[in-house]
Structure 1
Amino acid sequence: MKKLLGEERREAIITILKNEQRPVTGTALAKRTNVSRQVIVNDMALLKAKNEPIMATSQGYVYLSEHPNHRVFEREIASFHTPEQAEDELNTLVDAGVTVKNVTVEHPVYGEITASIMVSSRYDVQQFIQKVTATEASLLMNLTEGAHLHVISADDEKKLDAAIEQLHLKGYLLPEA
Protein backbone atom coordinates (compact mmCIF):
# COMPACT_ATOMS: atom_id res chain seq x y z
CA MET A 1 0.00 0.00 0.00
CA LYS A 2 1.22 3.44 -0.92
CA LYS A 3 1.95 5.89 1.89
CA LEU A 4 -0.40 8.86 1.55
CA LEU A 5 1.23 12.24 2.04
CA GLY A 6 0.01 15.50 3.59
CA GLU A 7 -3.10 17.03 2.06
CA GLU A 8 -3.91 13.87 0.06
CA ARG A 9 -3.91 11.86 3.31
CA ARG A 10 -6.09 14.40 5.14
CA GLU A 11 -8.59 14.36 2.26
CA ALA A 12 -8.61 10.56 2.43
CA ILE A 13 -9.25 10.71 6.19
CA ILE A 14 -12.24 13.02 5.67
CA THR A 15 -13.62 10.71 2.98
CA ILE A 16 -13.21 7.65 5.21
CA LEU A 17 -14.91 9.35 8.16
CA LYS A 18 -17.79 10.68 6.03
CA ASN A 19 -18.42 7.20 4.56
CA GLU A 20 -18.31 5.24 7.83
CA GLN A 21 -21.43 4.70 9.89
CA ARG A 22 -19.38 4.06 13.04
CA PRO A 23 -16.39 5.78 14.67
CA VAL A 24 -12.99 4.93 13.15
CA THR A 25 -10.00 4.49 15.43
CA GLY A 26 -6.74 6.33 14.88
CA THR A 27 -5.03 2.96 14.47
CA ALA A 28 -7.46 1.95 11.70
CA LEU A 29 -6.94 5.29 9.91
CA ALA A 30 -3.17 4.86 10.24
CA LYS A 31 -3.34 1.41 8.62
CA ARG A 32 -5.60 2.63 5.79
CA THR A 33 -3.28 5.54 4.98
CA ASN A 34 -0.02 3.67 5.69
CA VAL A 35 1.28 6.09 8.35
CA SER A 36 1.75 5.99 12.11
CA ARG A 37 -1.03 6.66 14.59
CA GLN A 38 0.83 9.79 15.74
CA VAL A 39 0.66 11.17 12.20
CA ILE A 40 -3.12 10.66 12.35
CA VAL A 41 -3.30 12.52 15.68
CA ASN A 42 -1.40 15.41 14.09
CA ASP A 43 -3.67 15.32 11.03
CA MET A 44 -6.74 15.50 13.27
CA ALA A 45 -5.36 18.62 14.95
CA LEU A 46 -4.78 20.21 11.54
CA LEU A 47 -8.23 19.23 10.27
CA LYS A 48 -9.95 20.58 13.39
CA ALA A 49 -7.96 23.81 13.03
CA LYS A 50 -9.49 24.09 9.53
CA ASN A 51 -12.94 23.76 11.16
CA GLU A 52 -13.64 20.24 9.93
CA PRO A 53 -16.41 18.87 12.19
CA ILE A 54 -14.45 15.90 13.51
CA MET A 55 -14.98 14.62 17.03
CA ALA A 56 -12.79 12.22 18.94
CA THR A 57 -14.89 9.74 20.91
CA SER A 58 -13.97 6.80 23.11
CA GLN A 59 -14.62 4.53 20.08
CA GLY A 60 -12.69 6.58 17.53
CA TYR A 61 -13.15 9.58 15.27
CA VAL A 62 -16.47 10.64 13.74
CA TYR A 63 -17.33 13.24 11.14
CA LEU A 64 -20.29 15.28 12.34
CA SER A 65 -22.11 15.86 9.10
CA GLU A 66 -25.46 17.57 9.19
CA HIS A 67 -28.26 15.89 7.34
CA PRO A 68 -30.75 18.63 6.36
CA ASN A 69 -33.72 16.25 6.34
CA HIS A 70 -32.72 14.52 9.57
CA ARG A 71 -33.96 16.34 12.66
CA VAL A 72 -32.21 15.67 15.96
CA PHE A 73 -33.56 16.56 19.38
CA GLU A 74 -31.29 17.06 22.39
CA ARG A 75 -31.68 17.43 26.12
CA GLU A 76 -29.28 17.82 28.99
CA ILE A 77 -30.03 15.63 31.99
CA ALA A 78 -28.59 15.66 35.50
CA SER A 79 -27.75 12.17 36.74
CA PHE A 80 -26.63 10.80 40.07
CA HIS A 81 -25.63 7.20 40.80
CA THR A 82 -22.75 4.96 41.84
CA PRO A 83 -19.90 4.02 39.50
CA GLU A 84 -21.21 0.45 39.51
CA GLN A 85 -24.49 1.72 38.02
CA ALA A 86 -22.84 3.62 35.13
CA GLU A 87 -23.19 0.75 32.66
CA ASP A 88 -26.87 0.27 33.55
CA GLU A 89 -27.51 4.01 33.21
CA LEU A 90 -25.95 4.08 29.72
CA ASN A 91 -27.77 0.89 28.66
CA THR A 92 -31.06 2.35 29.90
CA LEU A 93 -30.52 5.40 27.72
CA VAL A 94 -29.48 3.57 24.54
CA ASP A 95 -32.28 1.01 25.01
CA ALA A 96 -34.73 3.93 24.74
CA GLY A 97 -33.21 4.80 21.35
CA VAL A 98 -31.07 7.76 22.35
CA THR A 99 -27.41 8.60 21.88
CA VAL A 100 -25.42 9.67 24.92
CA LYS A 101 -23.22 12.37 23.46
CA ASN A 102 -21.11 13.36 26.46
CA VAL A 103 -20.64 13.60 30.19
CA THR A 104 -19.95 16.82 32.11
CA VAL A 105 -18.89 17.33 35.72
CA GLU A 106 -18.24 20.47 37.73
CA HIS A 107 -14.65 20.39 39.02
CA PRO A 108 -13.68 22.69 41.94
CA VAL A 109 -10.47 23.82 40.21
CA TYR A 110 -11.06 23.46 36.46
CA GLY A 111 -14.77 24.28 36.32
CA GLU A 112 -16.79 22.27 33.81
CA ILE A 113 -15.06 19.22 32.37
CA THR A 114 -16.82 17.63 29.40
CA ALA A 115 -15.83 14.44 27.63
CA SER A 116 -17.35 12.90 24.52
CA ILE A 117 -18.94 9.46 24.96
CA MET A 118 -21.06 9.00 21.78
CA VAL A 119 -22.71 5.68 22.62
CA SER A 120 -25.89 4.65 20.78
CA SER A 121 -26.16 0.90 21.38
CA ARG A 122 -25.45 -1.75 24.00
CA TYR A 123 -22.39 -2.72 21.95
CA ASP A 124 -21.08 0.85 22.19
CA VAL A 125 -21.72 0.87 25.94
CA GLN A 126 -19.92 -2.46 26.34
CA GLN A 127 -16.91 -1.18 24.38
CA PHE A 128 -16.85 2.03 26.46
CA ILE A 129 -17.01 0.15 29.78
CA GLN A 130 -14.38 -2.36 28.63
CA LYS A 131 -12.05 0.50 27.69
CA VAL A 132 -12.55 2.18 31.08
CA THR A 133 -11.85 -1.13 32.82
CA ALA A 134 -8.85 -2.10 30.66
CA THR A 135 -7.15 1.27 31.11
CA GLU A 136 -8.13 1.50 34.79
CA ALA A 137 -9.43 4.98 34.00
CA SER A 138 -11.67 6.74 36.46
CA LEU A 139 -15.15 7.79 35.40
CA LEU A 140 -15.56 11.58 35.52
CA MET A 141 -18.52 11.17 37.87
CA ASN A 142 -16.06 9.94 40.51
CA LEU A 143 -14.81 13.54 40.79
CA THR A 144 -18.26 14.65 41.95
CA GLU A 145 -19.31 11.62 44.00
CA GLY A 146 -21.79 10.56 41.33
CA ALA A 147 -23.30 13.83 40.10
CA HIS A 148 -22.90 14.49 36.37
CA LEU A 149 -24.67 15.77 33.27
CA HIS A 150 -25.28 14.08 29.93
CA VAL A 151 -26.38 15.54 26.64
CA ILE A 152 -28.64 12.96 25.04
CA SER A 153 -30.01 13.07 21.50
CA ALA A 154 -32.58 11.24 19.41
CA ASP A 155 -34.55 11.61 16.21
CA ASP A 156 -37.80 11.78 18.18
CA GLU A 157 -38.66 13.67 21.38
CA LYS A 158 -40.70 10.68 22.57
CA LYS A 159 -37.49 8.67 22.79
CA LEU A 160 -35.95 11.37 24.98
CA ASP A 161 -39.07 11.38 27.18
CA ALA A 162 -38.96 7.57 27.50
CA ALA A 163 -35.27 7.57 28.36
CA ILE A 164 -35.74 10.21 31.06
CA GLU A 165 -38.75 8.35 32.48
CA GLN A 166 -36.72 5.12 32.72
CA LEU A 167 -33.87 6.94 34.50
CA HIS A 168 -36.41 8.46 36.87
CA LEU A 169 -37.89 5.02 37.66
CA LYS A 170 -34.41 3.66 38.40
CA GLY A 171 -33.56 6.62 40.61
CA TYR A 172 -30.68 7.79 38.41
CA LEU A 173 -31.80 11.38 38.00
CA LEU A 174 -30.44 14.06 40.30
CA PRO A 175 -33.31 15.17 42.54
CA GLU A 176 -34.30 18.79 42.12
CA ALA A 177 -33.67 20.90 45.23
Structure 2
Amino acid sequence: MLSGQERRNQIRTQLQTTDTPISASKFAKQFGVSRQTVVGDIALMRASGEAVVANFNGYTYEQVSSDQTAKIVCRHTRAQAQQELELIVANGGKLLNTIIDHEIYGEVTGNLNISNMTEVKHFITKLKRTDAHLLSELTDGVHLHTIAYRTDADLAAIKQALQDADILFLG
Protein backbone atom coordinates (compact mmCIF):
# COMPACT_ATOMS: atom_id res chain seq x y z
CA MET A 1 0.00 0.00 0.00
CA LEU A 2 1.24 3.48 -0.90
CA SER A 3 1.99 6.15 1.65
CA GLY A 4 -0.06 9.33 1.51
CA GLN A 5 2.81 11.23 -0.11
CA GLU A 6 3.34 8.53 -2.73
CA ARG A 7 -0.39 8.53 -3.51
CA ARG A 8 -0.42 12.33 -3.84
CA ASN A 9 2.60 12.16 -6.16
CA GLN A 10 0.76 9.68 -8.40
CA ILE A 11 -2.40 11.82 -8.33
CA ARG A 12 -0.32 14.87 -9.35
CA THR A 13 1.35 12.97 -12.20
CA GLN A 14 -1.94 11.68 -13.56
CA LEU A 15 -3.63 15.08 -13.39
CA GLN A 16 -0.70 16.81 -15.07
CA THR A 17 -0.67 14.36 -17.97
CA THR A 18 -4.35 14.46 -18.96
CA ASP A 19 -6.90 17.08 -19.96
CA THR A 20 -9.73 14.78 -18.84
CA PRO A 21 -11.05 15.27 -15.30
CA ILE A 22 -10.50 12.34 -12.94
CA SER A 23 -13.00 11.71 -10.15
CA ALA A 24 -12.12 11.05 -6.53
CA SER A 25 -13.99 7.75 -6.83
CA LYS A 26 -11.75 6.64 -9.71
CA PHE A 27 -8.61 7.51 -7.74
CA ALA A 28 -10.03 5.74 -4.67
CA LYS A 29 -10.62 2.55 -6.63
CA GLN A 30 -7.18 2.74 -8.21
CA PHE A 31 -5.38 3.18 -4.87
CA GLY A 32 -7.64 0.97 -2.75
CA VAL A 33 -8.63 3.78 -0.40
CA SER A 34 -11.87 5.60 0.37
CA ARG A 35 -13.14 8.47 -1.74
CA GLN A 36 -12.83 10.69 1.32
CA THR A 37 -9.12 9.81 1.63
CA VAL A 38 -8.61 11.06 -1.93
CA VAL A 39 -10.61 14.22 -1.18
CA GLY A 40 -8.27 14.76 1.77
CA ASP A 41 -5.22 14.18 -0.44
CA ILE A 42 -6.50 16.77 -2.92
CA ALA A 43 -7.15 19.24 -0.07
CA LEU A 44 -3.57 18.77 1.17
CA MET A 45 -2.23 19.27 -2.35
CA ARG A 46 -4.25 22.46 -2.82
CA ALA A 47 -3.24 23.78 0.62
CA SER A 48 0.42 23.37 -0.35
CA GLY A 49 -0.10 25.44 -3.51
CA GLU A 50 -0.85 22.73 -6.07
CA ALA A 51 -2.95 23.94 -8.99
CA VAL A 52 -5.62 21.25 -8.63
CA VAL A 53 -9.09 22.38 -9.66
CA ALA A 54 -12.29 20.65 -8.58
CA ASN A 55 -14.93 20.52 -11.32
CA PHE A 56 -18.40 19.02 -11.56
CA ASN A 57 -16.94 15.89 -13.12
CA GLY A 58 -13.65 15.42 -11.25
CA TYR A 59 -10.28 17.03 -10.76
CA THR A 60 -7.94 18.62 -13.26
CA TYR A 61 -4.60 20.31 -13.00
CA GLU A 62 -4.93 23.97 -13.91
CA GLN A 63 -3.75 24.53 -17.45
CA VAL A 64 -2.11 27.78 -18.55
CA SER A 65 -4.13 29.22 -21.40
CA SER A 66 -3.59 32.04 -23.84
CA ASP A 67 -7.35 32.66 -23.97
CA GLN A 68 -8.82 35.92 -22.79
CA THR A 69 -11.43 35.91 -20.04
CA ALA A 70 -14.50 37.98 -19.29
CA LYS A 71 -17.29 37.95 -16.77
CA ILE A 72 -20.85 38.04 -18.06
CA VAL A 73 -24.04 38.40 -16.05
CA CYS A 74 -26.87 36.04 -16.89
CA ARG A 75 -30.35 35.37 -15.61
CA HIS A 76 -32.42 32.36 -16.51
CA THR A 77 -34.61 29.60 -15.19
CA ARG A 78 -33.46 26.06 -14.49
CA ALA A 79 -35.12 25.01 -17.74
CA GLN A 80 -32.85 27.39 -19.69
CA ALA A 81 -29.56 26.16 -18.16
CA GLN A 82 -28.74 23.79 -21.02
CA GLN A 83 -29.52 26.44 -23.62
CA GLU A 84 -27.21 28.92 -21.85
CA LEU A 85 -24.31 26.47 -21.74
CA GLU A 86 -24.81 25.38 -25.35
CA LEU A 87 -24.91 28.98 -26.62
CA ILE A 88 -21.66 29.87 -24.89
CA VAL A 89 -19.81 26.77 -26.11
CA ALA A 90 -21.27 26.92 -29.65
CA ASN A 91 -20.00 30.47 -30.01
CA GLY A 92 -16.42 29.71 -29.03
CA GLY A 93 -16.53 30.10 -25.26
CA LYS A 94 -15.40 27.96 -22.37
CA LEU A 95 -17.34 28.27 -19.11
CA LEU A 96 -14.81 28.45 -16.32
CA ASN A 97 -17.19 28.98 -13.41
CA THR A 98 -20.47 30.25 -12.02
CA ILE A 99 -20.45 32.99 -9.38
CA ILE A 100 -23.30 34.21 -7.20
CA ASP A 101 -23.52 36.88 -4.55
CA HIS A 102 -24.94 35.02 -1.55
CA GLU A 103 -26.58 37.06 1.20
CA ILE A 104 -24.67 35.26 3.97
CA TYR A 105 -21.47 33.88 2.40
CA GLY A 106 -20.76 36.68 -0.06
CA GLU A 107 -19.28 35.55 -3.34
CA VAL A 108 -19.73 31.82 -3.95
CA THR A 109 -18.02 30.20 -6.93
CA GLY A 110 -18.62 26.83 -8.55
CA ASN A 111 -16.00 25.61 -11.02
CA LEU A 112 -17.31 24.29 -14.32
CA ASN A 113 -14.58 24.16 -16.99
CA ILE A 114 -17.03 23.25 -19.74
CA SER A 115 -15.57 23.66 -23.21
CA ASN A 116 -17.54 21.40 -25.55
CA MET A 117 -21.00 19.98 -26.16
CA THR A 118 -20.12 16.60 -24.67
CA GLU A 119 -19.25 18.30 -21.38
CA VAL A 120 -22.49 20.33 -21.55
CA LYS A 121 -24.46 17.11 -22.01
CA HIS A 122 -22.59 15.43 -19.14
CA PHE A 123 -23.26 18.40 -16.82
CA ILE A 124 -26.97 18.52 -17.66
CA THR A 125 -27.31 14.74 -17.30
CA LYS A 126 -25.66 14.88 -13.88
CA LEU A 127 -27.85 17.83 -12.88
CA LYS A 128 -31.00 15.90 -13.79
CA ARG A 129 -29.83 12.60 -12.31
CA THR A 130 -28.91 14.09 -8.94
CA ASP A 131 -31.75 16.62 -8.85
CA ALA A 132 -29.15 19.08 -7.54
CA HIS A 133 -29.80 22.81 -7.46
CA LEU A 134 -28.01 25.36 -9.59
CA LEU A 135 -26.20 28.09 -7.66
CA SER A 136 -28.28 30.61 -9.57
CA GLU A 137 -31.44 29.22 -7.98
CA LEU A 138 -30.29 30.90 -4.76
CA THR A 139 -30.30 34.33 -6.43
CA ASP A 140 -33.49 34.28 -8.49
CA GLY A 141 -31.53 33.14 -11.53
CA VAL A 142 -28.96 35.97 -11.51
CA HIS A 143 -25.34 34.84 -11.73
CA LEU A 144 -22.01 35.57 -13.34
CA HIS A 145 -19.91 33.31 -15.51
CA THR A 146 -16.23 33.69 -16.12
CA ILE A 147 -15.76 32.60 -19.70
CA ALA A 148 -12.63 32.09 -21.74
CA TYR A 149 -12.63 33.05 -25.41
CA ARG A 150 -10.08 33.44 -28.18
CA THR A 151 -11.17 36.56 -30.06
CA ASP A 152 -13.24 39.66 -29.40
CA ALA A 153 -15.59 38.43 -32.15
CA ASP A 154 -16.17 35.22 -30.14
CA LEU A 155 -17.08 37.25 -27.05
CA ALA A 156 -19.42 39.47 -29.09
CA ALA A 157 -21.10 36.37 -30.60
CA ILE A 158 -21.55 34.81 -27.17
CA LYS A 159 -23.13 37.95 -25.76
CA GLN A 160 -25.40 38.38 -28.77
CA ALA A 161 -26.59 34.77 -28.66
CA LEU A 162 -27.35 35.07 -24.94
CA GLN A 163 -29.13 38.38 -25.47
CA ASP A 164 -31.22 36.93 -28.30
CA ALA A 165 -32.24 34.08 -25.96
CA ASP A 166 -33.14 36.61 -23.22
CA ILE A 167 -30.46 35.12 -20.94
CA LEU A 168 -27.88 37.91 -20.87
CA PHE A 169 -28.80 40.12 -17.92
CA LEU A 170 -28.93 43.74 -18.93
CA GLY A 171 -30.41 45.11 -15.72
Residue equivalent to 1:104: 99
Which is further off, 31-40 or 112-121?
31-40
Q: Which residue does 1:35 correspond to in 2? A: 33
Structure 1 position 64 matched with structure 2 position 59: no
- Cα deviation digits, residues 73-123 of structure 1 (max 9, x gap): 000000011110011000111111211011111222222211111111111
Three-state SS of the structure 2 residue aligned to 1:74 is strand
Q: Is 1:115 matched up with 2:110?
A: yes
Percent same amino acid at aligned positions? 35
Question: Given the alignment, which residue of 9, 17, 40 partners 1:19?
Answer: 17
Show CA shifts across 1:4-54 (max 9, x none). Answer: 322111111011001111111111122233322111111001100110000
Structure 2 unmatched runs, 5+ = none
Residue aligned with 1:100, SS: strand
Question: Alignment partner of 1:153: what SS?
Answer: strand
Match among 141, 146, 153 for residue 141 of structure 2: 146
Q: TM-score, normalised by structure 2?
A: 0.93
Match in the other structure for 1:160: 155
Q: Secondary structure at the match of 1:42?
A: helix
8 Å contact kept, 1:30–1:37 = yes
Inter-partner Cα distance in structure 1 for 2:170 and 2:16? 40
1:167, 1:173 within 8 Å by CA — same for their partners in 2? Answer: yes
Q: What is the one-letter code of the residue matched to 2:46?
A: K
Cα distance in 2 between the residues matched to 1:55 and 1:36: 20
Q: Which amino acid aligns with 1:84?
A: A
SS at match of 2:92: coil
Aligned AA (2:141): G
Between 153-162 and 47-56, the greater mean CA deviation after superposition: 153-162
Contact 1:94 1:122 in 2 (8 A): yes
